[in-house]
Structure 1
Amino acid sequence: MPRWEPDARERFVAAALQLFSEQGYDETTVAQIADRAGLTRSTFHRHFSDKREVLAAGQETLSRLFAEGIAAAPGTATPLEAVSAGLVRASGAMTSFNREIGPRIEAVIATSAELQERALLKKVGMAAAIADALRARGVAEAVASTAAELGVLAFKEAFAAWSEGEGDELAPMAVAALDRYREAAASLG
């Protein structure tokens, strides 16, 4: 068995999702995931702290990409224009692999209250990263928090639709979703 596999993370995620679907999340062990992926447990632990982390693979990267996109937005951008730039940057990192596994991950998460709670915490973390990036641009706390939540909602909505086969590119879908949330917020009065 080779010591290093360039696609090890994807192999672990694919193997874990297969096993979770076949035998359930609780019944699946890290050793089984590693075996199914054709890799070792130590390699698994170089990529993930535990099997729950497989379901949140990429969340930290996604948060970082959001923040980078916001930071790179023009200085004249409004908070939601900056969030839109973050959506475009984060969406650009999504691959066909992400598109394929999205519904499968959601199906596994739906089977466990613990996993649902962890997924919510990851979304809170993403919103915090977005809000932090906005505050670094001088955006007031309440505006930064609100814009961050709208950004997370827009990404979640667009990613779900894209994962189910709607549209070819995620970024325009995410920006359109953010525009809908912007209009909805404006109508609140």
Structure 2
Amino acid sequence: MPRSGAEARRRLQQAALELYRERGFDRTTTAEIAARAGVNERTFFRHFPDKREVLFDGEPELRAALMRAVAEAPGDLEPLDVLLFAFRKAGRILEENRPFSEPRLAVIAATPALRERELAKAASLTEAVAEALRRRNVAARPAELAAHAGWAAFHQAAQDWLADDSAQSLDAHLLQTFDELRALSGPRPPAAARAGD
């Protein structure tokens, strides 16, 4: 039996991930997860409200890290640069959890209910980032746009990093992806092109 709450939580997460990979998410019960982790089902529900949340446990920590990093970013940065600063800091959480993150993404990709939950979590985090930018006096519409673009870049960089067999860090992927995002905006097109002529 695990001796601490943190140890029980970690074991439940590991057991769930193993079972989801072996049997699939839909064919795994909370009782089976608890048994594999060496605890009872009541312990499972003390830590997680349902079997989906086992895979999304780090969301509050990531949200807090992003909000804090946006607030701490140097005052002279443009919104996208603020987000790059924040994602680089918060990305350390992902790097520390890489052994869990890689198989977790595979389980989510194979399970429609989990993909739906991931989209809801991403929308919530994007709104939190937009709110953090508004607190820095970025106007509402640009804050929303920057948050959506920044989150998409972060998500792309994280997926590239997890799929990368080289030793390139998440930080390097973030820098590259944000450079590519800036390159996409490029110089403004002539007025005729903007008008649709």
Normalized against structure 2, the TM-score is what?
A: 0.85
> How big is the alpha-carbon RMSD for the aligned residues of Structure 1 and Structure 2?
2.0
Instruction: Find runs of 4+ consecutive structure 1 residues off by over 4 angstroms.
Output: none
In 1, Cα distance between equivalents of 2:145 and 2:108: 26
Distance 1:93 1:110, change over 3 A: closer
Q: 1:91–1:171: 8 Å Cα contact kept in structure 2?
A: yes
Q: Which has the larger radius of gyration?
A: 2
Partner in structure 2 of residue 87 of structure 1: 87
Q: Does 1:130 align with 2:129?
A: yes
CA change 1:107–1:94 in 2 (3 A) is closer
Q: Is the 8 A contact 1:158 1:174 kept in 2?
A: yes
Match of 2:172 in 1: 172
Shift of the 22–127 alpha-carbon distance from structure 1 to 2, 3 Å rule, reads same
Counterpart AA for 1:36: R
- Distance in 1, matches of 2:33 and 2:142, equals 43
CA distance in 2, matches of 1:143, 1:6: 40
* Aligned-pair CA distance for 1:7: 3.3
Larger CA deviation: 129-138 vs 171-180: 171-180
Distance 2:100 2:188 in 1: 35
Q: 1:85 to 1:152 in 2, by over 3 A?
A: same
Is 1:24 the counterpart of 2:24 in the alignment? Answer: yes
Q: Equivalent residue for 1:54? A: 54
Q: What residue number does 1:74 align with?
A: 74
Instruction: State the structure with bigger RCO (CA 8 A, min sep 6), 1 or 2.
Output: 1
Same amino acid, percent of matched pairs: 38
Q: Are 2:145 and 1:155 aligned?
A: no
Which AA in structure 1 matches 2:134? R
Unpaired runs of 5+ residues, structure 2, are 190-197
Deviations 1:102-125 (A, max 9, x none): 232222222232221111111111
Size of the aligned set, in residue pairs, is: 188
Q: Which residue of 1 aligns with 2:63?
A: 63
Query: Quick one: structure 1 residues 166 and 10, their matched pair in 2 at CA, closer, same or farther if it must change by over 3 Å?
Result: farther
Q: Distance in 1 between matches of 2:68 and 2:52?
A: 26
- 1:44 corresponds in structure 2 to 44
Aligned 8 A contact 2:2 2:38 in 1 = no
Per-residue deviation at 1:140?
Answer: 1.0
User: For the structure 1 residues 182 and 21, does the alpha-carbon distance in structure 2 shift closer, same or farther, using more than 3 Å as the test?
Assistant: same
User: Alpha carbons of 1:119 and 1:188: their partners in 2 closer, same or farther (altered >3 Å)?
Assistant: farther
In structure 1, stretches of 5+ residues that fail to align are none
Residues 2 and 8 of structure 2 are in contact (CA less than 8 Å); yes or no, is this contact kept in structure 1?
no
Paired letter, 1:137: R
Question: How far off its partner does 1:187 sit?
Answer: 5.7
1:109 aligns to 2:108 (yes or no): yes
Structure 2 CA distance for partners of 1:157 and 1:187, relative to 1, 3 Å: farther
